[in-house]
Amino acid sequence: MRSQVSLAFLNTGQGFIVALGLVIVMAMAANGVVNGNMTIGDFVLVNAFLIQLYMPLNLLGMVYREVKQSLADMEKMFSLIDRDVEVEDAPDAPALRFDGGNLRFEDVQFGYDVRRAVLAGISFDVPAGRTVAVVGSSGGGKSTLTRLLFRFFDVGAGRITIDGQDIRTVTQKSLRRHLGVVPQDVVLFNDTLEHNIRYGDLTADDAALNRAIDQAQLRDLIGNLPDGLATMVGERGLKLSGGEKQRVAIARMMLKDPGIMIFDEATSALDTATEREIQRALRDVSKGRTTLMIAHRLSTVVEADEIIVLDQGRIAERGSHASLLARNGLYTAMWQRQQAEREEEELDVAQDPGVVPDALAS
Ligand SMILES: Nc1ncnc2c1ncn2[C@@H]1O[C@H](COP(=O)(O)OP(=O)(O)OP(=O)(O)O)[C@@H](O)[C@H]1O
Ligand SMILES: [Mg+2]
């Protein structure tokens, strides 16, 4: 606005000076003609001179605005450049040597704020090719585990290793190349559906794209959209439903085909039937691949090799589904609660199909 105001002043002032000068000079020239010491031709010549002089003056306003705008842009750029990078690669860091993908958390402690620990010493192992599930109450630090793994933050104490290499010692680029995530809050670019899926691997061919679309159960959706794959998804993907966004994220990750897969509530927004289909597809692709699965709905993780129950930043219980049930602890309580809820829902629907179940109505 300041730039616009000053430009308006400049233009007005310039116009005023130009007009005033023109009047005075033309008056002088006219006077000369009247007195007889100038001819009509001289009068026209003076006018022509003046016009040639003013032309470049008019450009001045435009140049002024350009310079102002560029200065503003440069300021923005420098403030961006000056921003500190929170997590930096170690000098001369080598690339990650990926070998099967043995993932290890060793006594990891972390807090976003020094005054409050989110993870208070977490140790677990995901052997290459195995699936480990993490469950626990909301805010327990499950998503934080994935952020640490991607090195969006560095651990406060302890370490995270992949195939024996501390992830802080390798480059972030090589680390992230081997990791694929379906995040809890999917972010899409305001671009076409196709570009958003291809973002997983920009060099993928059409066959791979189609495979990913099928695995993520996106075929029907694309068939129903008037523009198909060319549909614009809107800012952050706001024109897609929550479940559709999740499926785009799943397709994106399948296309990337990473060595280690992380699912953070990957199917939480889907209906039971679609969820079952996708869970089957996920099981297929995660076979033989290191997988970290975070879920609230316990029924989606019963087949994991190990289930870890996080509570208050610590591992409260761990083991297979059956052994956890046998312990009769936190996990059992969560499981029974969810089973009861599900039965109630099914009962409600069965008894009175006209009534919307609570879960849907709220
Ligand atoms: N960027 C952040 N800055 C500060 N605090 C954060 C940040 N992200 C998360 N937290 C806090 O850390 C805690 C753990 O968050 P996290 O996202 O890991 O929970 P979660 O176990 O994934 O929960 P949910 O099941 O609801 O997804 C929360 O109490 C949250 O308030
Ligand atoms: Mg989370």
Number of residues that make up the chain: 362
The whole-number average pLDDT for the span 241-247 is 86
- Cβ–ligand 1 distance for 142 under 6 Å, the answer yes
Averaged pLDDT for residues 202-217: 89
Answer whether 122 contacts ligand 1 (Cβ < 6 A): no
Separation of alpha carbons 120 and 151, rounded Å:
18
Domain boundaries, the chain: 2-82, 103-128+140-290
Residue 353's pLDDT is: 53
Which ligand 1 atom is at minimum distance from the Cα of 184?
A: 27
**71 is written with which tokens?**
């200065």
| Ligand 1 atom at minimum distance from 142 CA | 21
User: Mean pLDDT over residues 283-287, rounded?
Assistant: 82
Mutational test site, ligand 1, from 108, 137, 143, max ligand atoms within 8 Å of CB = 143
Model pLDDT for residues 46-87, shown as the tens digit of each residue = 889 888 887 787 787 788 888 988 999 999 999 999 888 888
Report residue 196's pLDDT band, with 50, 70 and 90 as the boundaries. very high
Residue nearest to atom 3 of ligand 1 (CA): 112
Q: Which residue has the higher pLDDT, 352 or 63?
A: 63
Strands (E), the chain: 103-110, 119-126, 131-136, 157-162, 165-166, 179-182, 260-264, 290-294, 306-311, 314-319
Q: Residue 306 corresponds to which tokens in the numbers above?
A: 């190990």
Which residues are paired to 263 by β-bridges? 182, 293
Q: Which residue's alpha carbon is nearest to atom 1 within ligand 1?
A: 112
Chain-centre distance for alpha carbon 202 = 16
Nearest of 327, 264, 346, 251 to residue 297 by alpha carbon = 264
d(CA 51, CA 29): 15
CA of 184 to the centre of ligand 1 (A): 11
**Is 144 touching ligand 1 by the criterion CB < 6 Å?**
yes
152 Cβ closer than 6 Å to some ligand 1 atom: no
| DSSP letters spanning 186-235 | ----SSBHHHHHHTT-TT--HHHHHHHHHHTT-HHHHHHSTTGGG-B--G
Query: Percent of the chain, pLDDT > 70?
Result: 96
pLDDT at 316 over 80: yes
Output phi, psi for 84, to 5 deg: -75, 140
Among protein residues, the one with the nearest Cα to ligand 1's atom 17 is: 143
The answer to whether the CB of 211 falls within 8 A of the CB of 254 is yes
Measured in whole angstroms, the distance separating CA 280 from the mean position of its chain's CA atoms is 26
Nearest in space to 283 (alpha carbons), one of 304, 309, 268, 307 = 304
Beta-bridge mates of residue 103: 126, 162
Residue having the nearest C-alpha atom to atom 19 of ligand 1: 139
- Per-residue pLDDT reduced to its tens digit, 331-341: 999 899 888 88
117 lines ligand 1 (CB under 6 A): no
Residue bearing the bigger pLDDT, 33 or 11:
33
Ligand nearest to the CA of 141: 1
Q: Which two tokens stand for residue 222?
A: 């694309």
Q: What is the pLDDT of residues 223-243, one digit of tens each?
A: 988 988 888 988 888 888 888
Mean pLDDT for the chain overall: 87
Tens digit of pLDDT for each residue in 101-123? 899 999 999 999 888 889 998 99
Range of weakest confidence among 50-64, 171-185, 190-204, 343-357: 343-357
CATH superfamily of domain region 103-128+140-290: P-loop containing nucleotide triphosphate hydrolases (3.40.50.300)
Find where tokens 């020094």 sit.
Answer: 114
Atom number, ligand 1, closest to the C-alpha of residue 113:
4
CA of 170 from ligand 1 middle (Å) equals 26
Q: Is the pLDDT of residue 5 over 60?
A: yes
